[in-house]
A and B are shown apart, each in its own frame.
Chain A
């Protein structure tokens, strides 16, 4: 296989008012024709900047490529340094020899142009052909990416398509000129697992048929295991480890790689706590990294694993308790209004007669794909949306019939933590006042001094420092903000908390810390959780029982391990199969089949 791309000593800087940040710091790698290179890292690792640098699409200012070569090899072995090309020549590479797909299919297509026209535009730009020919070619491409009804889709606007369909349009656009290199920047991150699985299949298939090289950027090691031949792991702008996908998964060398591999919630074993990156490495103030322990990933995992007996014991204890929350035939219908007088033409049954109990101290996982009704269920329990029918008993009180003043008292006991820690904190309130405000509203404690003491105590409980009390939200990272949200929820001394995708916006290593914190607080404060997530492995780590939802109904409800080991329903099975497991065995199987 011949060489296609070679990146040498690439440095890309971003300038802000008084600082220069090296987002990509002396990165070198190469890629052969027909191979897939996975670039793995967390936010801020420089993986996206690397890919945009190859395309020379770094926004300037503030960004600038200050050093390095990006060599693009022709079939005859001649190389061109993309960084030395004039902009006009570079444009003949973009979308033609090198093309790119992005993370957000929702926003990556221009909303005011028809999908077909956006592909036709790319074809006509790089290939000398008439509009009719380009349209014919677009139809072929839509068929190639397996879109249903290509003749209709070609004339539809992006907002009329689902996320998965839009990503297929993006792929069709990227493939339109038969590129030698496809750069895919988190192409499946915003999609449901089952959709992700089909998109990954499609990309693999297209790559084989067109002998195309791929740079696949992702934070998800599971996805890398499914698609990459070689992997580079990036951390803070630098490559910390390079190797074949087997090497990386079987025998990771760098402590950061080990940490990343270990902190992913797993489906195949149940753990007491998730290992974190910090278990493996220590970062010094000067930026250098040293190893904390020489243990391998498997050794660390076995140390924190829970035995089947321990799980069985906990389950039997929980089973004997009387339920804290009891949901019966809960329905939430949203009317569909159409026509001249906005008359109701039908209902969207977001939640369609579901029933379940939650025992005190238990965590019930609510899992399903987008639009399945899991979030609406959580909100209906708290009456943040009004249920259409059914009952929700909390502590023997029917929540659905309470008056607004009774509801206020009840809200002390029932709290919710949302997905986005960035928008759920008021930017103008210091952390301390945000926590104290809720206590004041609900008259918890008699004086502000006591409230302040308790707020400090809670900050300590969520592993923040006492001086953080006076800081404002923008001074914190995503993980820290989510911990502030947790502290705020705990300020009411609740019995019951709904976590709605509470860790979904966080990096894996941070996600592990927050999940561990939630488990620790549950035991310490005697909390009961409903944990809502689209991510089955996260739900499985934290939950005692899991309810799988689809189209507003509970498809299956079972003890966590049992649900994974012996799913009864076809839907559950398809959901579990679609998850990229990232196990060494799976990688071996894939390599052999190739």
Chain B
């Protein structure tokens, strides 16, 4: 197990280095001179050269690269053009809001997604199954921002029972609409993945063995089938988790949720390159970290995952 974790950790470091390198390269693949972009088209040549020197852009690329990697490893992602604060500071400040929204939405969608998926699998081909799966299809097809706007309209304006904008510092009920808007898609997908994985597992020989032992249907399903069916579900949940942690752009924007997603959208609208680069790099690191944790989790759930 220890060797397994060390190896996965080693792979993670390699991937992280790759991520940092590509974010460095992307910076140079962008058209235009960063200094020129920072100062704007009308700036005179003198100040551009001065800024290039200040930013170290006149040094050889390899030195710049080493410098960049060193800075990133120290947590220095540069300064935002617009706010003039370090990016890492802003990300740290905004991460809790995003994490709260993500965890709430995913807890909800995982728990209910699995329950719905299992029920659909048990009633495979019957009315309940087709009904639930039709709703899930709707949930998958509906983009979260449309759903967000719909919620705003129905619960916030027409029924006027939930607040439509702002963070929990103004009350916990502010969490409900954005997290529910965010939860429907992963919930639908988790339900579908659970259903198909369960149907597959329920046809396995060891389920027949469990029934032949005289176990009740509930024990057979909950104890013997569910754990075997979980692997693809973990993959789905983790992909969503990593994706949402990096910022749920539209939902945060619509509900004025002060998270990373909103920060990124702001940065894009204002062409704040270091901020964009910083949040993209941050998203990539979150992805890699979450995947590392999931790999270890697989090994815990399924004893057959090779530890050697």
Residues of A whose CB lies within 8 Å of any CB of B are: 55, 57, 61, 91-96, 99-100, 102, 104, 107-113, 121-122, 125-126, 157, 159, 170, 173, 338-340
Contact = CB atoms under 8 A, between A and B. Distances in A.
A125 B205 contact: no
Contact of A338 (B205, B209, B215, B308): B308
B47 interface: no
A481 to B, nearest CB: 23
B286 to A, nearest CB: 26
A95 B210 CA distance: 9
Contacts of A100: 212
Nearest to B227: A112
**What are the 5 tightest A-B residue pairs by CB atom distance, in nearest-first order?**
A94-B214, A95-B214, A95-B213, A107-B205, A110-B206
B3 A339 contact: yes
Interface residues of B, number: 25
A23 B213 CA distance: 24
B181 to A, nearest CB: 35
Contacts of B211: 57, 94
Contact of A159 (B208, B213, B214, B303): B303
Chain B binding surface, main DSSP class: helix
B303 A112 contact: yes
B301 A112 contact: yes
Contacts of A126: 214
Nearest to B207: A110
A346 to B, nearest CB: 13
12 contacts: A57-B211, A92-B214, A94-B211, A95-B212, A95-B215, A99-B212, A104-B205, A111-B304, A112-B228, A112-B301, A121-B215, A340-B10
B302 interface: yes
Interface string B196-227: 00000000111011111111100000001001
Contact of A122 (B213, B301, B304, B308): B213
Contacts of A340: 3, 6-7, 10
Given A91-B216, A111-B228, 7 more contacts: A91-B215, A100-B212, A108-B206, A111-B303, A112-B303, A159-B304, A340-B7
Nearest to A91: B214
Given A112-B228, A340-B7, A121 B209 contact: no
Contacts of B213: 94-95, 99, 121-122, 125, 173
Interface string B1-26: 00100110010000000000000000
A148 to B, nearest CB: 21
Interface in B11-47: none
A92 B125 CA distance: 30
A107 B303 contact: no
Q: Is the interface of A mostly helix, strand, loop or mixed?
A: mixed
Interface in B95-130: 125
A38 B92 CA distance: 72
A55 B224 CA distance: 19
Interface of B: 3, 6-7, 10, 125, 204-206, 208-216, 224, 227-228, 301-304, 308
Nearest to A160: B303
A110 B213 CA distance: 12
Nearest to A55: B212
A427 B204 CA distance: 24
Nearest to A94: B214
Contacts of A173: 209, 213
A126 B212 CA distance: 12
Contact of A111 (B214, B302, B308): B302
Contacts of A92: 214
Contacts of A94: 211-214
Question: For B7, B208, B224, B227, which residue has the most chain A Cβ atoms within 10 angstroms?
Answer: B208
Nearest to A176: B213
Contacts of A159: 303-304
B228 to A, nearest CB: 6
A243 B227 CA distance: 46
A112 B302 contact: yes
A102 B214 contact: no
Residue from A92, A96, A99, A110 with most neighbouring chain B CB atoms (10 Å): A110
Most buried by B among A126, A338, A340: A340
A57 B212 contact: yes
B209 A110 contact: yes
Given A91-B216, A93-B214, A340-B3, A109 B209 contact: yes
A110 B125 CA distance: 26
Contacts of A102: 205, 208-209
Contacts of A93: 214
Contacts of B216: 91
Contacts of A107: 204-206
A98 to B, nearest CB: 9
Contacts of B303: 111-112, 157, 159
Contacts of A113: 224
B51 to A, nearest CB: 46
A170 B227 CA distance: 21
A284 B206 CA distance: 40
Given A111-B304, A112-B302, A125 B209 contact: no
A107 B3 CA distance: 29
A178 to B, nearest CB: 14
